[in-house]
Structure 1
């Protein structure tokens, strides 16, 4: 049975209103309604656990959610791409050169490092990555802020020409009016996004989603509270990063060092 049906049955069997559930589980009433009607993506674990505790479901709500996660995993990236395509604002923190700013040759080398990938899959993924980059050329262009962890520059391709081409492209992108690039130096110390990469997307209607990546796995998050918390984390990392001007100087230095 789906999560949507389980939470609806629990509420109706107990004769509770949407507001009573919202008050008891300490979540928004409209959120409960949208969850039961299926008019939203899968909720975050905080909401699921709150509903499980409120209904004293002994893990049934959480279990149904976990089963759905297995099915949702396959299309999360597709849903992320759809959200990315319609976003008017993007904030990213990444421990590697992000796909949106990779050159074709660099993207091909990165994708080729996977041990089981075939040549056909490499071609397909490179084409997909380049197609995504067309978002940056649309009019009006989305406002993009990218925070690059300095660790992204620690591992370079063997081919110097490919690396120089990639750095030159980052410099060119950082000079575009709608793109801000900042480098987070290793000297900035510890922060709470070190375990992976984060993208936060805002649509024109003000709605936002977050996409968290790590170890080849991604999670799409649309719980407003979770997205807000991730935004605060991203803001904290940005505050520690080099200024856009200092970042350009850093990139030019990297380019000189690659000669």
Structure 2
């Protein structure tokens, strides 16, 4: 069942929620199984929430207040740890939450600038290409993608290590002026203290990575979930075997990447190409 000292409540908002949930449960004299029955969740899920391995729902936070007789304390801790998510597609909600929760994100994209680094024009061109999408849905998804970038401004936001194929710098997405502005913005982001961008050059031995983009979320150095792009849409996976395989693949791709300083020069050269 663990001890209260297993979680440092000062390390993050998520840790504070987990610590307080366990503290109040033990104070009430309830086991994880007994508490789970009262709120309608399994013992294993309660255990994962208490050890920061699973993000609770807002409904669970509210039920905690009811069971423990608290006046919105757990709900307030929840909102502090996990602010309302941006308006993203349902299949992407889990990963959008991890972008705010993780201490580090490792990204690989062989085709496009990652969503966290996209300008509004670039994002709109990509999103509006979806067959049958309405103007209202385009606006909603573009707004959601722009809001995701707040992860880069949070004091406890994640370190982001992004690998991009060289072809991303030269792929015509929209008109030339839009691509130039996108690459200018990418160069700005590359100098953010919590961001590392490395370009994987043409001819690199990273062929397996060309199959598709993926992201790895880490918590204090430990990979715990991944997002894999696929058709018709990507998915978030927590299966350990898949995580291990993608970590290995990411490391292999990074071994073929240029240094951060050389990568920045390549981005700046690409800006001049599109001018």
With normalisation by structure 1, the TM-score equals 0.69
Kindly report which structure 2 residues correspond to 1:23-62, keeping only aligned pairs within 5 A, or say none. Answer: 39=45
Conserved 8 A contact 1:147-1:184: yes
Tell me which of 102, 105, 109 is aligned to 1:87. 102
Tell me which of 106, 129, 140 is aligned to 1:113. 129
More helix by share: 1
Q: Does 1:164 align with 2:180?
A: yes
Q: Distance in 2 between matches of 1:168 and 1:82?
A: 27
In structure 2, relative to structure 1, the CA distance for the partners of 1:190 and 1:235 (3 Å cut) is: closer
Tell me which of 243, 253, 258 is aligned to 1:242. 258
What secondary structure sits across from 1:193 in the alignment?
helix
Q: Distance in 1 between matches of 2:201 and 2:153?
A: 29
Q: Distance in 1 between matches of 2:189 and 2:243?
A: 27
Q: Which structure exhibits the higher relative contact order, with contacts defined as CA atoms closer than 8 Å and separated by 6 or more residues?
A: 1
Pick which of 199-208 and 138-147 moved more: 199-208
Pick which of 118-127 and 141-150 moved more: 141-150
Q: Distance in 2 between matches of 1:229 and 1:220?
A: 15
Count of aligned pairs: 191
Deviations 1:94-144 (A, max 9, x none): 121111000011111111112211110110000000111101111033110
Q: Does 1:129 align with 2:138?
A: no
Shift of 1:163: 1.0
Q: Which runs of 5+ in 1 are unaligned?
A: 1-35, 41-73
Q: Distance in 1 between matches of 2:122 and 2:227?
A: 23
Q: Distance in 2 between matches of 1:79 and 1:158?
A: 29
Shift of 1:203: 2.5
Q: Distance in 2 between matches of 1:91 and 1:180?
A: 10
With normalisation by structure 2, the TM-score equals 0.65
